[in-house]
Amino acid sequence: MIPTVPYLQCLALKKDDLVQALRLAFTVSTLGLALSLAQGGGLPALNLSLSLLALIPALLGMALGQHVRKYIGETLFRRCFFLGLIALGVTMVLSIGG
């Protein structure tokens, strides 16, 4: 997703359009990965059920984000978006180092 997120950000889409484009990109890539894992036998039933269970907080977070997005402006949304990307990057760097 690394090339996708910065590319979509550079297009200067409005916040709702950016979120929609990211949803589509994440959905397609996740489905492609799931199909690839299932085809190669890398997705046992236990992992599938735990993954489906993990969707609950993800969907709740999406609903909360959608609600918050209605009430914040473009500038604040972009700042929060970039801060989220930075936090994700720092988390990834720290997890590699530890």
Instruction: State how far the Cα of 28 lies from the Cα of 93, in Å rounded to an integer.
Output: 26
pLDDT-based confidence at 35, cuts 50/70/90?
A: confident
Which pLDDT tens digit goes with each residue over 38-81?
787 776 766 777 878 888 998 898 899 889 988 999 889 889 88
Per-domain residue ranges of the chain: 4-97
pTM greater than 0.85 = no
Spatial contact of 17 and 34, defined as CB atoms under 8 Å apart:
no
How far, in whole angstroms, is CA 12 from its chain's centroid? 18
